[in-house]
Amino acid sequence: MSESYTLIKGSVPLLISMPHNCEELPADIAAVMTDKGREVADTDWYMDKLYDFAQALGAYILIPKYNRYVIDLNRDPDGVDLYPGANNTELCPTTAFDLMPLYQEGCEPTKEQINQRVKTYWQPYHQALASTMQAIKTEFGQAVLLEAHSIRSQVPRFFEGKLPDFNFGNADGKSCAPELMSALAELDYSPYTMVCNGRFKGGYITRAFGQPANSFHAVQLELSQFTYMNEQDLTYNENLAKQVQPKLQLLVETLIDFASTLPSNT
């Protein structure tokens, strides 16, 4: 346990990170946000509930305690854009996905405040990621990271039309062994749609921690929220979730099996 994240220790060589799962805002930050900001509408809703089977499978699970509007744990701490030339959200976002302001006029975070948030929230989460991945590798010879994300099926700011259901990213093949991505691509996702390295190629965490030459393998899944929730009122849909969870469980089991049999590079 930590003041800024929760780490559930596991027994298999898989860590599931959910950096955009939480809704909470520190009181001092919430006080200067707009009503839109306090709605935290761009949360990766219910990731912990959707993956509630993973702990029984032995996966390590890492979840922050504060919302992505405070600081985006899946962004470069130096503010480098994930997708140069495209529309990007900042390390400390100032607008929602629909471009509405998150802060009251004149209250956007200053450089000093951003640096403090990096120290208070970003660094502890990444230190937990690094130490957990290293501990897993030490015990098993290799470590696999699943970055579990979700997003609305339609976000005009970032992509046209409707997003595929399962959106995998491995930094265009750089963040994991090709055999791992092939194993995921060969799974049966029907009736859902699936794409690899489409609009989403993996965020900062996937790119930073995916080092297959050093036996660290990382894959991001950006799941369309249309598959498990009512997008308009941001509520969990039990019937939809029960249909997609078997696909997610098969995915997690495949990652565990792969990690357990993959020869290490050390």
Measured CA to CA in angstroms, residue 100 lies from 23, 43, 94 at distances of: 18, 15, 9
Going along the chain from its start, the domains and CATH numbers come out as 5-261 (3.40.630.40)
Eight-state DSSP code of residue 121? I
- CA 118, 121, 122, 128 dihedral sign is positive
Q: In the prediction, which pLDDT does 266 show?
A: 45
- Reduced to 3 states, what is the DSSP secondary structure of residue 26? coil
Q: How confident is the model over 28-74, as pLDDT tens digits?
A: 999 999 999 999 999 999 999 999 999 999 999 999 999 999 999 99
Eight-state DSSP code of residue 199? S
Q: How confident is the model over 98-157, as pLDDT tens digits?
A: 999 999 999 999 999 999 999 999 999 999 999 999 999 999 999 999 999 999 999 877
Tokens of 17: 């990170």
Tell me phi and psi for residue 230, to 5 degrees.
-90, 105
Which residue in this structure is represented by tokens 């520190």? 26
Tokens of 151: 């997003």
Burial tier of 232 (Cβ tally within 10 Å: 0-12, 13-18, 19+): exposed
